[in-house]
Structure 1
Amino acid sequence: MKFSVGVEYAIHCLLYMVNLEEGKSVGIKDLAAFQGISETYLSK
């Protein structure tokens, strides 16, 4: 199965969030930095 680039980023972000400690949160800024993409692109 082949996913679009946007879907790949979304999956990676979900995996990142799943591995956070319970009760912790993460914002768009941190997720964008983790992925190496702009906050604007990620927030679409």
Structure 2
Amino acid sequence: MTLTGTTRSTRVVAQQWVSLDGYASGTGGEDALFAHVHADADERSRR
């Protein structure tokens, strides 16, 4: 999977966040993870 505009550090942060949250289990993998992370960031930026 490739995501344009996604840096390696962003990827590492997302992986750390997801392991802390326990979100990685049973989600359908990396696509679901990044969809969730980006949706969360978008929602925060709208507030």
**TM-score greater than 0.5 by the shorter chain:** no
TM-score, normalization: structure 2? 0.40
Higher percent of residues as helix: 2
TM-score (ref. length: structure 1):
0.42
